């Protein structure tokens, strides 16, 4: 049984990917998630054992021993005004909480996930400093940017994956993307309530802003897709506000937002994943903040292979 800790867990997308890769041979000895609504969805799917709130309130001595640390750590600290001067110290950022646990507990491996822009933030200095801190904690580190649409999910979502191993003899390789053709129609529900159709006022506003953005040369406005579209834009945590990044065409109607179940499918969550313990607005926020499960599973399989070969 492989023991994991799930930090900045959200609704458990990274954990779900590892459960798939390790055929359920996973024991989560600690979960940390500060958002109470995300906790509700997490508990509905994984149970309530070993769930804690803010990671900052958990001392590293209190963290159980584990084999792999998982963390989809928030990207907001890297855009704070104070960090524009350069990422010279991890103290005060949420990354520090990962670092202090790695130093104290020394798990065999870790997987960190973040936005693609982390790679180029502050001219690459932010990522460089993060890698240096991880290496100083004793790890051999690898990173790459992977896209959901290359792993069978019809969403143009790119995320950086950072993997580390305590055993420096391990030569890890990221998964080769199958690049199978994707189709938005594969994740759409057959019968959708009219409540997801956007109003005349909202649709007019979307169209007006798209024209204005085109004239000013900034932003893209709404994104309109249909069953034949190969993939959608990236779903974001703000999707619940107006759904502008992903609208679905409808015959003789205004476009509609995707449903929460379609949002779950767009992130590759299995059909039995429970999503109805929170409001639709919270569900959209949670899936926008989550990860593409098949991408995580593919990376996790490579981590499993590397550990077994070592």
Whether the Cβ atoms of residue 287 and residue 54 lie closer than 8 Å to each other: no
Secondary structure (3-state) at 134: helix
| Cα–Cα distance list, 69 to 24, 111, 224 (Å) | 16, 6, 38
Please report the DSSP string for 230-285 in residue order: S-B----TTHHHH-TTSEE--TTS--EEPPHHHHHHHTT--TT---TTS-HHHHHH
Say whether 28 is catalytic.
Answer: no
Strand pairing report for 256-257 and 247-248: antiparallel
In the set 75, 177, 224, 307, the catalytic residue is: 75
| Cα–Cα distance list, 306 to 19, 135, 178, 303 (Å) | 17, 18, 20, 5
Of 10, 6, 139, 131, nearest to 70 by C-alpha is 6
The length of the chain, given as a count of residues: 310
Neighbours of 83 (CB within 10 A): 18
Q: Distance between CA 219 and CA 224 in Å, rounded?
A: 15
Q: Distance between CA 295 and CA 233 in Å, rounded?
A: 17
Q: State the maximum Cα–Cα separation within the chain, in Å, rounded to a whole number.
A: 61
Rg (CA), the chain: 20
41 token code pair = 């969805």
- Where in the sequence numbering do the catalytic residues fall? 75
């Amino acid at each position: 049984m492989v023991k994991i800790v799930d930090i900045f867990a959200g609704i458990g997308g990274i954990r779900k990917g590892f459960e798939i890769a390790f055929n359920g041979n996973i024991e989560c000895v600690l979960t940390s998630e500060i958002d109470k609504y995300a906790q509700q969805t997490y508990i509905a799917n994984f149970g309530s054992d070993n769930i804690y709130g803010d990671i900052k309130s958990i001392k590293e001595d209190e963290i159980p021993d584990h084999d792999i640390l998982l963390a989809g750590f928030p990207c907001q600290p890297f855009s704070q005004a104070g960090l524009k001067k350069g990422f010279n110290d991890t103290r005060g950022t949420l990354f520090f909480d990962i670092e202090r646990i790695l130093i104290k507990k020394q798990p065999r491996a870790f997987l960190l996930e973040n936005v693609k822009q982390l790679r180029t933030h502050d001219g690459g200095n932010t990522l460089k400093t993060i890698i240096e801190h991880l290496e100083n904690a004793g790890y051999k580190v690898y990173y790459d940017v992977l896209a959901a649409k290359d792993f069978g999910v019809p969403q143009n979502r790119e995320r950086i994956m950072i993997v580390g191993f305590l055993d420096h003899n391990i030569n890890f390789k990221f998964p080769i993307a199958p690049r199978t053709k994707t189709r938005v129609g594969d994740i759409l529900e057959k019968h959708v309530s009219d409540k997801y159709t956007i109003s005349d006022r909202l649709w007019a506003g979307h169209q007006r802003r798209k024209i204005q953005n085109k004239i000013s040369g900034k932003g893209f406005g709404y994104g309109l897709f249909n069953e034949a579209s190969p993939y959608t834009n990236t779903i974001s945590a703000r999707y619940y506000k107006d759904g502008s990044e992903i609208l679905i065409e409808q015959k003789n109607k205004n476009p509609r937002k995707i449903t929460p179940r379609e949002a779950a499918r767009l992130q590759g969550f299995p059909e039995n994943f429970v999503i109805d313990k929170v409001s639709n607005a919270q569900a959209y926020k949670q899936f926008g903040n989550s990860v593409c499960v098949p991408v995580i599973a593919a990376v996790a399989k490579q981590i499993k292979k590397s550990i077994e070969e070592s």
